[in-house]
Chain A
Amino acid sequence: MGIVYAIISGKGGVGKTTTAANLGIGIAQEGKKVALVDFDLGQRNLDLMLGLENRVIFDMVHVMDDEAGLKQALIKSKHNENLYLLAASQTKDKSVLVQEKVKKLITSLREEFDYVILDAPAGIESGFEHTIMYADATIVVVNPEVSSIRDADKAIGIVDAKCQRAKDNKPVQKFLVINRINPAMVTSGDMLDSKDILEILDIDLLGKIPEDKLIVESSNTGKPVILNEKSIAGAAYKRISKRLCGESVPFQDVELFISPSLMVKIKSLFQ
C-alpha cells in the first residue's frame, strides 16, 4: 500500500508542478516506485516538465472511463525507471471528474506504487477538491508573499473540511514547502521569512527552496532541476525527497544571504 500525497497551493504559478516533477524524480532516486498524476485537466504541464510531451497517448480520463488500462496509460520517465507519469487530458476539462472514478483510480495506483503524487490544479474549484479527496497527506507549496499565503491558508481550510480522511475523523498531515526564497530580499527584510509564514499557516515545514534561475531552463528542456548537480534548488528538492522517504535531513538555512562583496572581504582575510 502506497502513500498518496497531493501537492496543492491555492494560488497558481507558485511551483506546484515543478515541485511535483522534482519530488517525483527525487523519491524515485531513493529507490521507491513513484507515480506522478497530473490532475490539472485541460492544462496539462507535468509531461512537459519531465520531457514526455510526445509520449502521451492515453491519459487519466481514458483510464477512468475504462478506455485504456492503467498500465497502458502510465508513461515511464526518461530520467528514472522507478518513475511513471499519468498525464492529464488536454482536451477534456475538470467537469469530467467523478468522485467514484477518482477513488477507483487512486485505489489502483496505491496498490501498484510506493508513492503516488497528485499534482493539483490551481484554484479551489472542483478539480482541486477531487485531488485532495482521497489523499493521505498534502504538500502545500507557497511563495513568500502575502497573496500566496492567504490562498494556501484557504486551501488548507478546505482540505481540513472536505478531505475523506478528515470526514473519517483521521488526521490529515499537511507539509509546507516554501518555494522561490530570495535570500538577499529576506535578509534586507523585503520578503517574508519562513518563521512568519509558519506562524500564519501552522503546519509542519518540509523544506525551503531558494530562487534559482536554472529552474526556468530546466522546465523548458524537460529536465527537472534536481538532476542538475550545480543547482541550489535541486539540492533543496533532494533534501525534501529524502525527508519524504523517512530520512531525517537537517534544515539548511537557505535564507542566509552572503553578499558577493562580503565574500570578497572574507576571502581577503585568508590571503
Chain B
Amino acid sequence: MKVKQYSVKVFEITIDSQSAFLTFMDKNIVMLKHYLIYLRGEITPAIQEYFQKNDITYTTNLNVGNKTHQELVLKQSDLKIIDTRIRSGQDIKVQSDLLVLNRINSGAKLQVEGNLIVTDTIDGMIFCNGDFMLVKTSPKAMIVFNGVEIDGSLLKNKFNKIIFNGDEIIISPIEKEPKWA
C-alpha cells in the first residue's frame, strides 16, 4: 500500500443561493481552484457542472475535527483610496475603509464609516466610525472618532494609532515613521 499526502487545504462554503455562490466563485476562482472545497447546502446541477468545467475538487462530507477547524471569514476587500488633494468645500462620504494619500485642507469634510488611514497633514474635519484610525499629528484638524472628538494634544508623535475596542478609545503613538511604499 502506498500513501501520499500532498497538502490539506480546505475551504468550507455554505451555499445560500446558486447565483450568489457562482458569482463568488467566479471572483475567487484563481485562489480557490487549488483548494478542496467543502460544500454545505443544496448543490444544484448548475453548480456541479461549474465545478466539473473548472476542474475543482469538492466534497460534501468532511470531518476535520474541532481542533484544527478554524472558521475563515472571507471578506470582499472594499478599501477606497483617495490620492488627490481634498480641497476646501469638498464633503466626502465613504461607506467602506479609506486610505487618503494626500492633504486634507482646511474647510474640507470627510466622513468614513470604516477604518481610516491618512498619510498627510489634516487641516479639515474628519469623522471616522471604524475600529481603527491612523493619522498624522494635526493640531488644526477636528478629528471625531466614533462620536468622540479627539483632543489634538493627545496626538503626540508624528503618527498616531487610534483604536476603538467597543467601549474605550486607545490612542497610541507610533515611534517609527511608517514607510509608505
Binding site for B on A (CB under 8 A): 146, 149-151, 153-154, 156-158, 160, 199-200, 202
Contacts and interface: CB of A to CB of B under 8 A. Distances in A.
Interface string B134-151: 000000000000000000
B72 to A, nearest CB: 42
Contacts, number: 31
B97 interface: no
Contacts of B89: 153-154, 157-158
A154 B89 CA distance: 6
A153 B107 contact: yes
Contacts of B107: 150, 153-154
Interface string B95-123: 00000000101110000000000000001
Which 6 pairs from chain A and chain B are nearest by CB? A157-B87, A153-B88, A154-B89, A154-B88, A153-B87, A150-B88
Interface in B61-98: 85, 87-90
Question: Which of B88, B105, B107: most chain A CB closer than 10 A?
Answer: B88
Contacts of A199: 103
Given A154-B89, A200-B103, 11 more contacts: A146-B106, A150-B105, A150-B107, A151-B88, A153-B89, A154-B87, A154-B107, A158-B89, A160-B87, A199-B103, A200-B106
Contacts of A157: 87-90
A35 B106 CA distance: 35
Question: Which of A151, A156, A160, A200: most chain B CB closer than 10 A?
Answer: A200
A150 B85 contact: no
Contacts of A153: 87-89, 105-107
